[in-house]
Amino acid sequence: MSTYFKQLNDGWNAEPNAPDPKARWDGENLHLSFRPGFYEPDKASGIVTGITFLSCSRFRFGSVNDEGWYRGQCRFSRIAPAWGKFYEVSGNLLLEQIPGDWNSRVEPLETSKHYLFYFRDEEFECDAEGWFLNKIQAEQAAT
């Protein structure tokens, strides 16, 4: 079975040098916040970009950075279209190749989708029913 990637961030991205991603649970949803990219108008106004993952069952931060990805140290190296993007991944997720370091709430539902975001010094993955982009004040993201 092949692995398929659908890029989800069109016109926005995380800050490429210091995105400072943070995840926090809010009931059954998970909020992922990070600094927006260089050219986004929100960067100067104290706004951080956030993604809310709906009915999130589990998430993890991995330690693969951009250098490791280009050197083939990530399970999706050489098959993911590009480093630094946000994807919905389907097909063969190659889950047998990652450590069992998930932060889990419940077992993923059959209808869950697998999301992957490559940040500069780490990757983020989660299983959730859906997602939406939101923008919040930096103070709110820290709590």
Using one digit for the tens of pLDDT, what is the confidence trace for 37-49? 766 555 555 666 7
pTM of the entire predicted model: 0.87
The strand order across the sheet containing 58-62 reads 3-7, 86-91, 113-118, 123-128, 58-62, 103-104
Record the tokens describing residue 131, joined without a space. 């997602």
Using one digit for the tens of pLDDT, what is the confidence trace for 91-129? 999 988 887 889 998 888 888 999 999 998 999 999 999
Using one digit for the tens of pLDDT, what is the confidence trace for 44-65? 556 667 899 999 999 999 998 8
